[in-house]
Chain A
Amino acid sequence: DIQMTQFPSTLSASVGDRVTITCRASQNIYTWLAWYQQKPGKAPTVLIYKASTLQSGVPSRFSGSGSGTEFTLTISSLQPDDFATYYCQQYHSYSRTFGQGTKVEIK
């Protein structure tokens, strides 16, 4: 299986901060990568797919970049609604795998 390593595992930030989360794949996954946001007690929702395509309805402060094995999710100006856990997920193979998650906390 393709392993996805996400870091940091926890991130403390303030409203208005620029935040970057990194996801690394154990092999080349081209741009077959999605990012999700999950709030406590809720199901995940997709933010970005194909590494950089914003899902319909997702605010433009979210952006994704990268290809191959290194990817980033950036929140340009952190808002109160953005405090949550974020996961990357590869879909290069049928056996889809997720990163371990990054919890974005209030500083």
Chain B
Amino acid sequence: EGQLVESGGGLVQPGGSLRLSCAASEFTFSSYAMSWVRQAPGKGLEWVSTLSGTGASTYYADSVKGRFTISRDNSKNTLYLQMNSLGAEDTAIYYCAKDPYMTPAQYFDCWGQGTLVTVSS
């Protein structure tokens, strides 16, 4: 199924920006849609964004649309999430997750360990 390792989380002030990365290995990265899913402390799971295997199609939750940008570099087997205009409501563990197929809108068959983003002054 593969391995996913997130990085880039940390403490950021309200209104600030952060870029998360997800390094993929042990599978053909370009063949699969990839997503970000987040989990606020003590809360449930929230899908954030998905990018098709080719990078041609992107999808965002309404809560992040216009502020977050998902991208990928298939030559580096890496998924990114650029997060701008961050607010306290964005505080969460951010998981990178793999779809089981190239086309998006599926379940998630592989997850990273997560990276914590804390938005606070």
Q: Which A positions have Cβ atoms within 8 angstroms of B? A: 1, 34, 36, 38, 42-46, 49, 55, 87, 89, 91-101
Contacts and interface: CB of A to CB of B under 8 A. Distances in A.
A1 B95 CA distance: 21
Interface residues of B toward A: which range? 20 to 34
Contacts of B108: 34, 36, 44, 46, 89
Contact of A94 (B46, B50, B111, B114): B50
B88 interface: no
Contacts of B53: none
A25 B104 CA distance: 20
A92 B45 CA distance: 17
Q: Is the interface of B mostly helix, strand, loop or mixed?
A: loop
A36 B117 CA distance: 23
Contacts of B113: 42-43
A87 B105 contact: no
B70 to A, nearest CB: 13
B107 A98 contact: no
Given A89-B107, A91-B106, A96-B47, 13 more contacts: A34-B108, A43-B114, A44-B95, A45-B111, A46-B109, A49-B100, A49-B107, A87-B44, A91-B107, A93-B105, A95-B59, A95-B62, A98-B46
A89 B45 contact: yes
Nearest to A89: B107
Contact of A96 (B44, B100, B105): B105
A98 B111 contact: no
Q: Is the interface of A mostly helix, strand, loop or mixed?
A: loop
A93 to B, nearest CB: 7
Interface of B: 44-47, 50, 59, 61-62, 95, 100, 104-109, 111-114
Contacts of B112: 43
A89 B37 CA distance: 12
B44 A94 contact: no
Contact of B45 (A42, A45, A87, A91): A87
Contacts of A95: 47, 59, 61-62
Contacts of A101: 44-45
